[in-house]
Structure 1
Amino acid sequence: EVSLIGGISLIVGTMIGSGIFVSPKGVMRNAGSLGAGFLIWLGCGILATFGALSYAEVGTMIPKSGGEFPILLEAFGPIPAYLFAWTSTVVLKPSSLALLSLTFAKYALAPAYNLECSEPSGLAIKLAAVAVILTVIFINCASVKLSTKFLTVFSFGKVLSLVIIIIGGIVMLAKGNTKHFEDAFSGEAPGVREIALGFYQGLWAFDGWNQLNYVIEELKNPFVNLPRAVIGAMVLVTGLYMLTNVAYFTTMSMQELLESPAVAATFGDRVLGVMVWVIPCFVCWSVFGTCLGSCFTAGRISYVAAREGHFSKVLAMLHAKRMTPAPAVLLNVSFNEKLMRTCKVSKFPHLVGFYNILSFFILLSLATRNFCSLQSCMGFIAILMVIPNDFDTLIDYFSFSMWIFHGSTCAALLYFRYKLPDYPRPVKVPIVIPIIVCIAAVCLVMAPIIDDPKIHYLFAFMFIMSGLAFYFPFVH
């Protein structure tokens, strides 16, 4: 059902979200200088491309949907695979979708309020966010073809929005606005921890490079289209991100960028004049496309995990007519709908895990008719409740967790090279590429802990391992 263009659109549509428009300043804050910041952005693009190529090889070896799940299952057994499915399905995917939908709601409602009015009410934001989620769910449950067509349209809009910013930057450069590029490497050199945190921020904007592996069973001619889609999407996005950052600095100094609450909005205000409203529209367009792509792949994790017996079998069912994993998609809806009704994520992000886990076990109990006690997971909920209310900290938390699994997946590729040297590989990358990704993953996970230990890294690791408390009594 998913063509080459649809595959490229899925990767581009998931990667280009709110990050490049709203908060690229996280990279520059940790880099300490403009030149170092651009090197980190370029490094993020190269690392994401290497990761995507490694995933392309192992994905064509094991052409099953579910992203990292079937790879970890084949290489290291059911426990690492279950821990990935647990972490991704219960918290990472649903909370990401909730945060994206809230971002959409805030930008969509902002033009309706003038400067004298207060910001949109919490109720209005939540209702708009729920509407976004329900719309995304309807599209994903209706048809795979419909989903990929929408992804193609929204991916085009995302690219167009960045092209507008880039053209604005070219115009400003033609006018001689190059003063902010002078002495690009002046300032304090970043340390190991700052470089790792800068990569966390940059890789957040690149998040989504592995999304095609989640739907590989639905990709037409995957042995050919998977590597082509990966290379095409990564080159396109990396180039757009680099040029967009250049455009930002044609109108803002380093300090002005760091002080801006929304970098793209500040750029639009200085370059577009009366057309400044275009930026919020494109942010909404971009975020909705990311919501669509994230939801499209999220249901496949639950679906594949259930098919292997790790989750309830009801989640392995397909819609009889539309052939979409509707129960698995709706599982993610219940998480986000519960979150929208109960807490304001911008004010209480640490409650995301509480309501996601609660909804998960309620649904699992109803599906299996095995009513396990919710008290057993209260300790793990308490861990999540103390996660700091800070956007950068949340990025660090999720990036730390995800790069554990990215590194494990590339380690699985190296394991297959050693144990199965003669196994057919429709795509084979130079061995140095997965080695670089593994080394980078270890550095990204360990560098912040060694240089400046913080408790939330321990919380992240403990939450991942908490899945074992449910694996042994209910799955094993």
Structure 2
Amino acid sequence: MNVKWAARVQDIFTVAKVLALIIIIVVGLYNMMFNGRVSSFENMFANTSTDVGSYAVAIYGGLFAYGGWNYLNFVTEELKDPYRNLPRAILISVPMVTVIYVLANIAYFAAMSPAELLASQAVAVTFGINLLGVMAFIMPISVALSTFGGVNGLLLTGSRLYFVGARMGHLPQSMAMNQRATKDADALLGVNVVDDVAWGRSLQAGGIPSRMLWPGVGVYRQEVSLSWMLWPGCILSLLYLLARDIGQLINYFSFVQWSATGAAIAGLLYLRYSQPDLPRPVKVNIALPIIFLIASIFLVIMGVVGAPWDTAIGIGIFLSGIPVYLLFVWWNKFPSSVTSAQNSSTIWLQKLFVMVSEEKKVL
């Protein structure tokens, strides 16, 4: 995927979905203040669970909706002056998304009761039907635009995981190659369609997820196509569809995510203690990672209590990567016939997708 074009597309669709959210906020707050639609806020916590495990599972859903900030780290190599622009992007986008999404959720309750909200298949669409009248068609269009923008951002950031993993020898060599021009539009379109299906299911949970508010701010430097690295995500998206609902899928994903995140933060704290003199261009107060680690541990442990079966499946998914790593990365002693076949397939894919190896800078 051409990084500059991906950023431009992201800018356009980010503006579109922010405008849609502003419409929701303005209309909802207007009805609350001038039409007295505040009944949904009376006895808000009636009949709610007091189980700590249920809170953890609920937090999983909230963190999924507010997610997206962590994807900025995936494209650090594409940023101009990353040590300056990465913290700036996080400090601007996270508070902005939080404020917009909280206000949007408040506005939703001006249009429907908690029971109606839970029963809705697409909250933003239900909001439009209840409050926008003849202009209700705006919401389905906005959801579609939001889906496309979200997929665009995921294609850009997700491909970097495969790219770097292949560069480190954890994935096939062909996935660490670049395309100087996007010549595989059909393949890229196919991945978009599959990811649209997966993200379409998430839209049922809340209309326009804030994780899709991932603005491209024009600070990218490389111009390469990474769409070839997206086929593993395509396969995973098809497997995601086997889940019975979005909540179950979030539980699988969240346990693995917060286990890995907690381990990464623990590693950060260990390095801060064991190697205090290492150069750290981006550095935060030590209290922040400590609090973050405690929160990650809470989410992992309480997630087990709140959804033990889903957690067990998540653990199985997590552990399934160990034999693959041991066989293909750690051991990696295959017969010459297998190595020859790998090399032949790499050359064939290079010709098919017009790919070249990454240029190495000579210092």
**TM-score bracket for the superposition, by shorter chain length:** 0.7 to 0.9
Distance in 2 between residues matched to 1:188 and 1:407, nearest whole Å: 29
1:428 aligns with 2:295: no
Q: Find runs of 4+ consecutive structure 1 residues off by over 4 angstroms.
A: 321-325
Deviation of the 1:339 alpha carbon: 8.0
Distance in 1 between residues matched to 2:159 and 2:247, nearest whole Å: 27
1:438 to 267, 288, 293: 293
1:411 equivalent in structure 2: 266
How far does the alpha carbon of each residue in 1:197-216 deviate from its partner, in whole angstroms, 9 at most, with x for none?
11111111122111111110
Structure 2 length as normaliser, TM-score? 0.75
Whether the 8 Å contact between 2:21 and 2:104 is mirrored in structure 1 is yes
Size of the aligned set, in residue pairs, is 290
Distance in 2 between residues matched to 1:216 and 1:165, nearest whole Å: 33
Whether the 8 Å contact between 2:57 and 2:306 is mirrored in structure 1 is no
Distance in 2 between residues matched to 1:450 and 1:320, nearest whole Å: 49
1:471 equivalent in structure 2: 325
Structure 1 length as normaliser, TM-score? 0.58
1:392 to 247, 254, 263: 247
Q: Cα distance 1:214–1:436, how it changes in 2: closer, same or farther (>3 A)?
A: same
Distance in 2 between residues matched to 1:461 and 1:438, nearest whole Å: 19
Aligned-partner residue type, residue 92 of structure 2: G
Q: Tell me the secondary structure at the aligned position of residue 308 of structure 2.
A: coil
Deviation of the 1:411 alpha carbon: 1.5
Aligned-partner residue type, residue 181 of structure 1: F
Q: Tell me the secondary structure at the aligned position of residue 311 of structure 2.
A: helix
Whether the 8 Å contact between 1:309 and 1:475 is mirrored in structure 2 is yes
Percentage identity across paired residues of the two chains: 39
1:332 equivalent in structure 2: 230
Distance in 2 between residues matched to 1:335 and 1:429, nearest whole Å: 32
Aligned-partner residue type, residue 94 of structure 2: M
2:241 to 343, 349, 355: 349
Aligned-partner residue type, residue 318 of structure 2: I
Distance in 1 between residues matched to 2:228 and 2:304, nearest whole Å: 37
Q: Cα distance 1:320–1:183, how it changes in 2: closer, same or farther (>3 A)?
A: closer
Deviation of the 1:435 alpha carbon: 1.3
Q: How does 1:117-132 map onto structure 2 within 5 Å?
A: none
Whether the 8 Å contact between 2:180 and 2:224 is mirrored in structure 1 is no
Q: Tell me the secondary structure at the aligned position of residue 121 of structure 2.
A: coil
How far does the alpha carbon of each residue in 1:418-448 deviate from its partner, in whole angstroms, 9 at most, with x for none?
1221223233222121112111111111113
Deviation of the 1:452 alpha carbon: 5.2
1:206 aligns with 2:98: no
1:174 aligns with 2:33: yes
Whether the 8 Å contact between 1:299 and 1:325 is mirrored in structure 2 is no
1:220 equivalent in structure 2: 80
Aligned-partner residue type, residue 471 of structure 1: Y
Distance in 2 between residues matched to 1:177 and 1:425, nearest whole Å: 51
Distance in 2 between residues matched to 1:390 and 1:320, nearest whole Å: 40
1:134 equivalent in structure 2: none
Q: How does 1:57-96 map onto structure 2 within 5 Å?
A: none
1:164 equivalent in structure 2: 23
Distance in 1 between residues matched to 2:297 and 2:127, nearest whole Å: 36
1:260 aligns with 2:120: yes
Deviation of the 1:324 alpha carbon: 5.2
How far does the alpha carbon of each residue in 1:45-65 deviate from its partner, in whole angstroms, 9 at most, with x for none?
xxxxxxxxxxxxxxxxxxxxx
How far does the alpha carbon of each residue in 1:191-249 deviate from its partner, in whole angstroms, 9 at most, with x for none?
21111011111111122111111110111111111111001000100001110011011
Deviation of the 1:466 alpha carbon: 1.7
Distance in 1 between residues matched to 2:223 and 2:231, nearest whole Å: 15
How far does the alpha carbon of each residue in 1:324-380 deviate from its partner, in whole angstroms, 9 at most, with x for none?
554x532324753x689xx7x7xx822xxxxxxxxxxxxxxxxxxxxxxxxxxxxxx
Whether the 8 Å contact between 2:57 and 2:307 is mirrored in structure 1 is no
Aligned-partner residue type, residue 145 of structure 2: W
1:238 aligns with 2:98: yes
2:344 equivalent in structure 1: none
Greater RCO (Cα-Cα under 8 Å, separation 6 or more): 1
Whether the 8 Å contact between 1:406 and 1:441 is mirrored in structure 2 is yes
Q: Cα distance 1:198–1:301, how it changes in 2: closer, same or farther (>3 A)?
A: same
1:153 equivalent in structure 2: 12
Aligned-partner residue type, residue 426 of structure 1: P
Whether the 8 Å contact between 1:298 and 1:329 is mirrored in structure 2 is no
Aligned-partner residue type, residue 11 of structure 2: T
How far does the alpha carbon of each residue in 1:15-35 deviate from its partner, in whole angstroms, 9 at most, with x for none?
xxxxxxxxxxxxxxxxxxxxx
